[in-house]
Amino acid sequence: VTANGSVIDLRDRPADDDSRVRALEDLGVLDTGPEERFDRITRLAQHLFGVASASVNLLDRDQQYIKSSHGASLSHGPRAEAICDLTIRGSETLVIEDVAADERFASSSFVTGPPHVRFYAGHPLEAPGGHRIGTLCVTDDRPRPFGPREQALLRELAGWVQNELTQSAELEQAAEVQRRLLPRRSPQIPGYTVAGACLPSRGVGGDFLDWYCSPDDELTVTLGDVMGKGIAAAIIMATVRAALRSTAGSPGPGAAVTEAAATLQEDLEETGTLVTLCHARLSPGSGTLRYTDAGHGLILLLRADGTVRRPTGGGLPLGISDEERWPEGRVVMDPGDLVVAFSDGLLDVFDGTLAALDRVIEVVGGCRSAQEAVDRLTALARGTRLLDDDVTVLAIRRSE
């Protein structure tokens, strides 16, 4: 029980701390320095409560970071010593009216030495998934009461900080544009079913999925993964998609990727970005699927007879070298065969190693259509509490 009587949730064990830290990282605010949108809130809080300082604090695995502070100067410190670490263990406001009289913190260096904290009130901040990733807190160098009215105000301000952390109108618009860049409907190819899905871990992401039919009825499909997350990755993703779309005239997927890579090399190098992708063309009549892998590596061919093959030995990701030539592989899809490609975010749903492939094979085994395979895999990804990375899935099945 904390100083103001709220009960600490003991179910919130450190075992869950990894996903909490990931939720914090996914907000993309740890590496962005001071931001006015938070500074104006801490300024306001410091004046409103007339305290020595107000701050927005973020707690990762080991450290407490001051995202914004106003008033007496505060510095980053070990999480283990921070009062805010106690605050995020509960969902209520934590008030310690006299820190020096609280045996847990009375001998802490920030109480006995500068900034001589004697009063603390903090409210936890939640990421969209409900993980408590930081606090808005006010401190003073003398003990003081902090009644229900003040606690309500602090809670209000914490809600504002939380909105700033998780919402951005521009990000929503970007997400909408990106959704529109995804194929809207599956191509209708007699004798085949084709399906795909893209689940960004944030509003926008670096994964992409594309398909189109050329005039000679060949189906071209691409699944790509741009390094990084969020808006920066999304901008590059749109560029890569456009470059690949412009290669429709090239003789095959290997030549297409080599051509697109040459177009993109300078931009990717300039932005220090890597892109992995697989790109394939299907001739529906013969069932021949020609494919090229650029450091993606996650394609599976599940034969109707139950055998499974994973093509290996592709080329490097795009953005590494301007001398790379991407080789082309070829398989023939027979009736009942299923080809699945997916982004590495799906591996992370399991243990992040190739052992996860066996689980993927298990999950899609026996699927009667491409859509069913995609549905099963996305259900799996949606089932995890928190997506670490974007998850994108593509499936082509030749009907019996």
Partner 1 sequence: MMRVDTDVADDVAVLQPQGRLTMVTAPELRQLVAETVRSGRVRVVVDLSATEFLDSSGLGALIAGLKTARQAGGDLRIAGLGPQVATVLQLTNLDRVLRPYGSVAEALSAR
Instruction: Give residues in contact with partner 1 (CB under 8 A).
Output: 21, 25, 28, 30-31, 61-62, 225, 227-229, 272-274, 276, 295-298, 314-317, 320-321, 344, 347, 351-354, 388-389
Q: CB 362 → partner 1: shortest distance, Å?
A: 18
Three-class DSSP category at 211: strand
Q: Which is nearer to partner 1, 274 or 302 (CB)?
A: 274
Q: Which is nearer to partner 1, 6 or 239 (CB)?
A: 239
Q: How far is CA 29 from the centre of its chain?
A: 13
Residue 258 Cβ, how far from partner 1 at the closest point, in Å? 15
Q: How far is the CB of 253 from partner 1 (least distance, A)?
A: 16
Minimum gap (Å) between residue 328 Cβ and partner 1? 15
* Shortest reach from residue 265's CB to partner 1, in Å: 13
What sign results for the dihedral spanned by CA atoms 93, 98, 101, 103?
A: positive
- Please name the residues in contact with 200: beta carbons below 8 A apart, sequence gap of 6 or more: 175, 178, 207, 390
When the beta carbons of 187 and 319 are compared against partner 1, the nearer one is 319
Alpha-carbon torsion (196, 199, 203, 205), positive or negative? negative
Nearer to partner 1 by C-beta: 126 or 225?
225
Reference 363, options 353, 354, 372; nearest CA is 372
Distance in Å, CB of 57 to partner 1, minimum: 16
**Strand, helix or coil at 340?**
strand
Contact predicate 374/195, CB 8 Å: yes
Q: How far, in Å, are 121, 132, 282 from residue 90 at the CA level?
A: 13, 9, 55
Query: Which CB, 337 or 344, lies closer to partner 1?
Result: 344
Report how far residue 337's alpha carbon sits from residue 188's, in angstroms, rounded to the nearest whole number.
Answer: 17
State which residue, 282 or 387, has the beta carbon closest to partner 1. Answer: 387
